[in-house]
Amino acid sequence: MTMFTLKRALLTAARIKQCRFFSASQNNWNNRKGLVLGVYEKEGETDSFDLTTAARSLDDAVSGKLSELLKISGPALKKGKNRIFYGLHEDFPCVAVVGLGKNNAGVCGSENWDTGKENIRAALSAGCRLLQDLEVSHVEVEACGDAQAAAEGAVLGLFQYDLLKTKKKTKVTTQLHGSDDVAGWEKGILYGEGQNLARLLMEGPANLITPTAFADTIEEKLAPYSERVTVHKRYVQSWIVEQQMGAFLSVSKGSEEPPVFLELHYNGSPDKTQAPLLLVGKGITFDSGGISLKPPSGMDAMRADMGGAATVCAALVTAVALKLPINIIGLAPLCENMPSGKASKPGDVVTAKNGKTIQVDNTDAEGRLVLADALCYAHTFSPRAIVNAATLTGAMDVALGSAATGVFSNSDWLWERLHQASVVTGDRVWRMPLFQHYTRQVTDSQLADLNNVGSSRSGGACTAAAFLREFVTAPHWAHLDIAGVMGNKDEVPYLRKGMSGRPTRTLVEFAARLAQEA
């Protein structure tokens, strides 16, 4: 008998045992309970593995059956691979075992992230999804040495936007298994839920997620924390006019949907005089391009052109839930960019809040217009730092793709903190240039102080950032162009296909680290 035939016979016998055990524990299966465990690749050996602490504990409880099944079920579990075993333990009718890669993986300088954390997120996400596909409704997840990363992987992996479908994915509750790090697990749950909130808003169709509906959703999420959070929803155009936000108004007037300027104040610091962190997000709930109409192919994705507002507001909601000891103000200018008889026309000149005039040569470069007024308004709060996020340019997608968010900053201090946060979350950022070379291209305008598009098609993301810089006087400002990371196909393994909600967790981690410096 060959080794292959022997393994096959042993595996068949093991499956027969499992089926008998499965039949005896039918009541447990009816409760739809599962378990996700991890295994590491063994150093220097191609066909072996090391069990995690929780996996070893279960293996001992079942007299080594887990190890036996792993050995005879095929090649050793590499990173990203998995197995499902049935009837292995009376408390868990099905157990998913996932490959975590090398046990000693840590921060990788060339990749700019913590490889170990990323491996955990990806592996446990895959394990949870396997059990969800089996209609398991309750899953216990082991920490694999990092409870926060494990929770993030589970929560992010299970999310799918199916609110408008009659047939929905099984709703799965998750629980930490075999670890004392409950605090890390709960923190990871909040981080994951924060990103999922941004995904929920970005994925929703534009006829449902209007500026008003967006603002109402965020207010509802913050309602339980009303003692520490103030929400201002400016619904009337008269307030925008009063604030002299001519750039924002010029974008909004083409739509029948009224604009909303959402303003959120979170007072989390014991020091009420502490200068706030300002988070500003572009909130175009649908971008047709206006008179400079976009081509129809892919225009449906422009329901997520409010991704900057979604990630900023979701980050603030998460910071509040975490009770971070920091003051944060979130600003989201919300409107649609639509063509109509009232819409701005190419060549129009508008005046921003700081008095600068702007020649609008392309109405599809509207994000920088709404952000210009929001950034001016942000300065009225004497901020500690200003961070804005926006799905601003297709050029950023061309430059970096979905690998990282492009960051333009006038502050090394601010950039370093954003970068450090992104290494931890795995949702990377990459610094881009703010040269005067690009500024000259947006100040070269025939009719006004600025042109909303550069004089050259090259470096579009850079000229957009240079435009925004004209509305910033604060010494610590960063512009995050998130156009390239707006959606996910299969680039991030722990996210399903769809809108990504990136980089919500990086913004939360940045705020958490900044709170510790206060």
Give residue-wise pLDDT tens across range 281-305. 999 999 999 999 999 999 999 999 9
Q: Are 428 and 402 in contact (CB under 8 A)?
A: no
Give residue-wise pLDDT tens across range 89-123. 999 999 999 999 998 889 999 999 999 999 999 99
Specify burial of residue 347 (Cβ count, 10 A radius: 0-12, 13-18, 19+). Answer: exposed
Domain count, the chain: 2
Mean pLDDT across 50-75: 92
Separation of alpha carbons 276 and 367, rounded Å: 24
Is residue 191 situated within a structural domain?
no
What's the confidence (pLDDT) of residue 189? 98
20 a catalytic residue: no
Q: Do 231 and 294 share a structural domain? A: yes
pLDDT at 2 over 70: no
Q: Do 81 and 16 share a structural domain? A: yes
Is residue 88 situated within a structural domain?
yes
79 a catalytic residue: no
Separation of alpha carbons 452 and 467, rounded Å: 7
Mean pLDDT across 40-54: 81
Give residue-wise pLDDT tens across range 387-431. 999 999 999 999 999 999 999 999 999 999 999 999 999 999 999
Identity of the highest mean pLDDT range in 3-17, 21-35, 60-74: 60-74
Q: Among the listed ranges 6-10, 30-34, 216-220, which one has the minimum average pLDDT value?
A: 6-10
Q: Which residues of 499-513 are buried (b: 16+ CB within 10 A; e: fewer)?
A: bbbbbbbbbbbbbbb
What's the confidence (pLDDT) of residue 76? 78
Is residue 190 situated within a structural domain?
no
Separation of alpha carbons 488 and 199, rounded Å: 11
Q: What's the angle, vertex CA 476, arms to CA 351 and CA 364, rounded to 5? A: 40
pLDDT at 24 over 80: no
- 409: its two tokens: 């900053």
What's the confidence (pLDDT) of residue 369? 98
Q: State the first-to-last Cα distance of the chain, in angstroms, to the nearest integer.
A: 70
Is residue 189 situated within a structural domain?
no
Residues near 514 by beta carbon (within 8 Å), at least 6 away in sequence: 277, 326, 384, 385, 417
- The SS3 call for residue 457 is coil
Q: Do 176 and 258 share a structural domain? A: no
What's the confidence (pLDDT) of residue 42? 83
503 preceded by a cis bond (ω within 30 of 0)? yes
Is residue 196 situated within a structural domain?
no
Separation of alpha carbons 34 and 54, rounded Å: 14
Q: Are 36 and 124 in contact (CB under 8 A)?
A: yes
What's the Cα-to-Cα distance from 174 to each of 34, 132, 153, 202, 379, rounded to whole Å? Answer: 10, 11, 11, 24, 42
CATH code where residue 143 lies: 3.40.220.10
Q: Do 225 and 117 share a structural domain? A: no
Q: Do 138 and 211 share a structural domain? A: no
Q: Do 422 and 385 share a structural domain? A: yes
Q: What's the angle, vertex CA 441, arms to CA 440 and CA 443, rounded to 5? A: 65
What's the confidence (pLDDT) of residue 321? 98
Residues near 138 by beta carbon (within 8 Å), at least 6 away in sequence: 31, 32, 33, 34, 172, 173, 174, 175
Q: Do 365 and 497 share a structural domain? A: yes
Is residue 147 situated within a structural domain?
yes
Q: Do 257 and 224 share a structural domain? A: yes
Separation of alpha carbons 113 and 421, rounded Å: 10
- The SS3 call for residue 48 is coil
Please state the separation of Cα 121 from the chain's center in Å: 14
Answer with the one of 114, 146, 180 that is the final residue of a domain.
180
Q: Which residues of 437-469 are buried (b: 16+ CB within 10 A; e: fewer)?
A: ebbebbbebeebbbbbbbeeeebbbbbbbbbbb
Q: Do 61 and 150 share a structural domain? A: yes
Q: Do 134 and 256 share a structural domain? A: no
Range of the domain at 456: 203-517
Is residue 267 situated within a structural domain?
yes
What's the confidence (pLDDT) of residue 178? 87
Is residue 392 situated within a structural domain?
yes
CATH code where residue 235 lies: 3.40.630.10
Q: Do 226 and 133 share a structural domain? A: no
Q: Do 225 and 175 share a structural domain? A: no
Q: Are 281 and 197 in contact (CB under 8 A)?
A: no
What's the confidence (pLDDT) of residue 315? 98
Q: Are 373 and 333 in contact (CB under 8 A)?
A: yes
* Catalytic one of 15, 81, 253, 294: 294
pTM above 0.85, yes or no: yes
* Catalytic one of 282, 368, 384, 469: 368
